[in-house]
């Protein structure tokens, strides 16, 4: 986890094993409560068990803090860049 000035700039969250609804709620809560200094949320959703969580994160997840979503070289990970 990268830090600047003692506060984390990046956070990782693993949503394996959650339903789409559970994962969406968890991510929305994290985004709402995230410190303003947080710049990135790395979401580990996996890809071997299907694409439902990946598609929810990449295509349907919306929140006022999300600036952009970046695909990773690892197909089981999506990086969410946050607005300041």
In angstroms, rounded to a whole number, what is the distance separating the alpha carbons of residues 84 and 78?
Answer: 19
Q: What is the mean pLDDT of the chain?
A: 91
User: What is the average per-residue pLDDT within 26-41?
Assistant: 96
User: What is the average per-residue pLDDT within 27-49?
Assistant: 93
Structural domain harbouring 67: 3-82
CATH number, domain with residue 10: 3.30.1370.110
Report the domain count for the chain.
Answer: 1
* Residue 5: pLDDT band with limits 50, 70, 90: low
- In the prediction, which pLDDT does 1 show? 47
What DSSP assignment string belongs to the chain?
--EETTEESEEEEE-TT--HHHHHHHHHHHHHHS-TT--EEEEE--STT-SHHHHIIIII---TTEEEEEE-SSTTEEEEEEP-
User: What is the average per-residue pLDDT within 27-33?
Assistant: 97
């Amino acid at each position: 986890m990268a830090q600047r000035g003692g506060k984390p700039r990046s956070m990782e969250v693993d949503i394996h094993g959650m339903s789409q609804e559970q994962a969406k709620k968890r991510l929305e809560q994290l985004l709402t409560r995230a410190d303003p200094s947080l710049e990135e949320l790395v979401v580990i959703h996996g890809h071997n068990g299907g694409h439902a969580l990946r598609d929810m994160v990449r295509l349907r997840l919306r929140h006022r803090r999300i600036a952009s979503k970046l695909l990773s070289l690892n197909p089981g990970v999506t990086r969410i860049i946050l607005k300041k």
